[in-house]
A and B are shown apart, each in its own frame.
Chain A
């Protein structure tokens, strides 16, 4: 990391190799479209390339830092209205969601291509914050601290969010559901 800050392109390449999957996956589960996910992932790393100099070293939080960038870009994307068409095609399980903010639920688009659909379906029915918390904590394997950093919250808030999210998920999953 320090190497990357000193302009070592190869070190940045190593970071890329290590975190590409995480960033791509995060974006993909947010936008539900592979090509769009590639576009946004590209922008994430270009931005990271420019900004890495201003990053203070925080150990393994680097994944969280990249996800923060990705998160902002995804939010920009949804604000820009570029996503209308995809959401329209992804609008399957969306009928009775409680909150339908700009961060809607385009994750539903991937549901059908994926096994464990029951679980993922239940996750997509969570409200956006809870959903993001579950995805970061469990799908991406982020720690509470990393999740807090990526979501711009403190750790106590993430623990509360996580608890509520798992509780909500338990209610959403069908009776007798076992994984």
Chain B
């Protein structure tokens, strides 16, 4: 790495010309070096240097600390200064320099730390994913928005949370559909995704409601349908032809969900996750007479099987479900086997429309680490387009 005298002189001159305040001075400086004023290579490099000076700050400006981080660190520094003093007033025991004695933010363990780091980046600490929140289908950041949703799903702590997230995403899809209704080219795709999220969310919530015997879990489903139904109906009204037909299909699904939820709520005490048939919306309500203890077991469970097979049907599955007719726990309720209340093995999500978006339940809190991490890395990999 010998830098000859000649080269050093060129480097010095390059630095001087580059840092000359304006073009006029550059010119006069250049002419001062009249002995080699015409130096095409130097001119070329100077041109590149000036371009760098213009363009590199543009790149730099795209990287800014997150405002939250800015505020948090400032507060921490002020607190530290107040507690220990700064500069000359700092207490000497403040040194052993490298031990981060002030509450450093993280590193519970490298892998998890990194996972959360990557996750934080995904879930809104970056400008990109924050900005993607309003992205519409067809826009550049829409992919980021959807990937962020996938990450949220992967992180959901329970099937109930996951189900609620799916419903929330279905609402988001509807808002997107409404926003692009003027130019509905992508509308069918968005509504497909909306229906997929609606179905997946309802499946998880109804399954959990039956498993746990908790009718309150159906509240989220009912709130969802009562909000979505009128909006989807309005959307359909603004559309024509095939797009209108597509919106009406979504409306049908919501009607089915509404009916299913009402029916399941009514028959929840009699519906057992052990024996209930399952369709795309989760366990089918069982008539109270269908409990194993009764003689009618065979016939009624096969009846349920029948109604389960006609999925496209908009009407409630069970014939005696007409409103007003109370099937509240009658004597058959008391005949429920005592084991019924216990959580049974979860219904296998075999009919879940898109299993890939719903990672296997991560309720078990051990052993999940690596799978969780892999999920994340995969998602991040996708996000970065690798």
Q: Which residues of A are interface residues toward B (Cβ below 8 A)?
A: 4-7, 9, 12-13, 16-17, 20-21, 24-25, 28-29, 33-36, 38-39, 41-43, 45-47, 49-50, 52-53, 76, 82, 85-86, 89, 92, 110, 112-116, 119-120, 123, 134-135, 137-141, 143-144, 156, 159-160, 162-164, 166-167, 169-170, 173, 178-179
Alpha-carbon distance between A167 and B45 when the two chains are bound, in angstroms:
6
Report the minimal beta-carbon distance from B109 to chain A, rounded to whole angstroms: 11
Asked whether B334 is an interface residue with its Cβ less than 8 Å from the other chain, the reply is no
Q: Is the CB of B15 within 8 A of A36?
A: no
Q: Is the CB of B81 within 8 A of A9?
A: yes
Can you name the residue of chain B whose Cβ is closest to the Cβ of A84? B110
Report if A179-B87 is in contact (Cβ < 8 Å); known contacts: A116-B59, A139-B57, A163-B45: no
Question: Which of chain B's residues have a CB closer than 8 A to the CB of A42?
Answer: 73, 76, 104-105
Report the minimal beta-carbon distance from A64 to chain B, rounded to whole angstroms: 16
Question: Which of chain B's residues have a CB closer than 8 A to the CB of A137?
Answer: 52
Q: Is the CB of B87 within 8 A of A169?
A: no
Residue of A9, A12, A115, A170 near B44 (CB, 8 A) is A170
Question: Which of chain A's residues have a CB closer than 8 A to the CB of B18?
Answer: 162
Chosen A-B contacts, 10 in total, with CB atoms closer than 8 Å, are A6-B89, A20-B73, A24-B64, A25-B64, A38-B66, A46-B80, A52-B87, A160-B8, A169-B48, A170-B45
Q: Is the CB of A110 within 8 A of B63?
A: yes
Report the minimal beta-carbon distance from A67 to chain B, rounded to whole angstroms: 13
Alpha-carbon distance between A24 and B127 when the two chains are bound, in angstroms:
15
Report the minimal beta-carbon distance from A75 to chain B, rounded to whole angstroms: 13
Q: Is the CB of A85 within 8 A of B110?
A: yes
Can you name the residue of chain A whose Cβ is closest to the Cβ of B80? A49
Q: Is the CB of A20 within 8 A of B121?
A: no
Main secondary structure of the interface of A (DSSP, over half): helix
Main secondary structure of the interface of B (DSSP, over half): helix
Asked whether B38 is an interface residue with its Cβ less than 8 Å from the other chain, the reply is no
Q: Is the CB of B54 within 8 A of A13?
A: no
Q: Is the CB of A170 within 8 A of B48?
A: yes
Other than A50-B90, A170-B48, give 16 A-B pairs with Cβ distance below 8 A: A4-B87, A6-B88, A20-B70, A33-B117, A34-B117, A35-B116, A38-B73, A45-B73, A49-B81, A52-B86, A114-B59, A139-B59, A139-B60, A159-B12, A163-B14, A178-B51
Question: Which of chain A's residues have a CB closer than 8 A to the CB of B78?
Answer: 9, 13
Q: Is the CB of A53 within 8 A of B117?
A: no
Report the minimal beta-carbon distance from A21 to chain B, rounded to whole angstroms: 6
A-contact bits for B86-118, CB 8 A (1 contact / 0 none): 111110001101101010111100110010111
Q: Is the CB of B57 within 8 A of A24?
A: no
Report the minimal beta-carbon distance from B75 to chain A, rounded to whole angstroms: 10
Q: How many residues of B contact A (CB 8 A)?
A: 72
Alpha-carbon distance between A163 and B221 when the two chains are bound, in angstroms:
66
Asked whether B230 is an interface residue with its Cβ less than 8 Å from the other chain, the reply is no
Report if A13-B77 is in contact (Cβ < 8 Å); known contacts: A138-B52, A166-B48, A179-B54: yes
Can you name the residue of chain A whose Cβ is closest to the Cβ of B100? A43
Q: Is the CB of A163 within 8 A of B60?
A: no
Asked whether B55 is an interface residue with its Cβ less than 8 Å from the other chain, the reply is yes
Q: Is the CB of B114 within 8 A of A86?
A: yes
Report if A25-B63 is in contact (Cβ < 8 Å); known contacts: A35-B121, A138-B56: yes
Question: Which of chain A's residues have a CB closer than 8 A to the CB of B57?
Answer: 138-139, 141
Report the minimal beta-carbon distance from A144 to chain B, rounded to whole angstroms: 6
Question: Which of chain B's residues have a CB closer than 8 A to the CB of A36?
Answer: 117
Alpha-carbon distance between A126 and B84 when the two chains are bound, in angstroms:
43
Q: Is the CB of A24 within 8 A of B63?
A: yes
Question: Which of chain A's residues have a CB closer than 8 A to the CB of B10?
Answer: 163
Q: Is the CB of B45 within 8 A of A166?
A: yes
Question: Which of chain B's residues have a CB closer than 8 A to the CB of A163?
Answer: 7, 10-11, 14-15, 45
Question: Which of chain A's residues have a CB closer than 8 A to the CB of B118?
Answer: 33, 35
Asked whether B33 is an interface residue with its Cβ less than 8 Å from the other chain, the reply is no
Report if A119-B55 is in contact (Cβ < 8 Å); known contacts: A47-B97, A52-B87: yes
